[in-house]
Structure 1
Amino acid sequence: MAISNLHHEKQHFNPDHYTEDGFFTREQILDYKDTFDAVDKDGNGHIDVNELTECLSLVGMKMSTIHLTELFEETDTNEDGFLDFGEFVHMLKLRSLVSSEEEDLRIAFNNFDKNHSRFIEADDIKALLISLGERISDEDAAEMIKMADLDGDGKVSFQDYSTFIKNS
């Protein structure tokens, strides 16, 4: 699926650089580059989260806004608010590698994160347990957060949650 021939105009682009690990074929990389360039409206070599939404739609990937934002932030390694093509390819690999186990973890995480803040906080734990007929003190809820809060920011991100569950 060639969206355009923009990859031919960019002499510095080497598709073989992105195929060294064997995850994607050269043809896939060229197609992804065409798609990336087509949604990079200003041609600066970077796409924002809105352009990423369009890009993923063109390659047939659909995901929730919350999941898309998380994936964007996870793969924006230089934290500039944009993805360059290398970060985009890395994101496609991560998306392809998401297993059913990971999806199950995300569903469980979202059961806690009812306010869609992308974090589990003590109030989220209390609300879930109360909905299940369990009582828990503020101190116990805070202690549960502390146990799973691997980066010490006082709340549990999906990464914290996933690592905690996998190591339990």
Structure 2
Amino acid sequence: MGGIVGKPESATSTWMPETKLEAKMVEAMQRRAAEGTALKSFNSIILKFPKIDDSLRNCKAIFEKFDEDSNGTIDHEELKKCFHKLEIKFTEEEINDLFEACDINKDMGMKFNEFIVLLCLVYLLKDDPTALRAKSRMGMPKLEATFETLVDAFVFLDKNKDGYVSRSEMTQAVTESGEGSTGRIAIKRFEEMDWDKNGMVNFKEFLFAFTRWCGVGENEDEEEGEEKN
């Protein structure tokens, strides 16, 4: 995700989004970062895992509603119907970008954990009145607090407010928590987030890692193939 001019950790480096969707994610996260975060430590994020896990698992009913053929995945056409029913206005290109971004296993279908990531991206990117009504029909109001916590967590990690989390930022966040073996923990967590191994983590990659940290998708054959990268 993204291309870079210079070294990732340098003060003068410029990280360039590779897709329009990634650019929108970065812009949205930069706006949210300007508002600040209430989180004070990485430990405070960890303590929220159980509550977030319960909330995300409640998305299962939403997932099953839009999985019309009940095959355990939402394909491209089902996603288009989902947005149409909810009256969420996305262009064909945006729908394609969202589907491709969230189908991280590239099996032409979004599984439950991938669908959760999509819901959070929709929440982040769509904040106009029409989208707010759509969120209500989707059941989003019940999830807003959870999604806000996820946004807050990313903002806490993104120390320089550029819309990405670097290895050094992750190390700083974990060190601030006063955990033992901070370097090892930070590197392990960062590697779990850095899906494409390019040295920088965007919000989508963070969400996928977070669903795994919380255990969402366990025992549902949803982690199969996730170790390939």
Higher relative contact order (CA 8 A, sep 6+): 2
Which has the greater radius of gyration? 1
TM range (shorter): 0.3 to 0.5
TM score, norm. by length of structure 1: 0.42
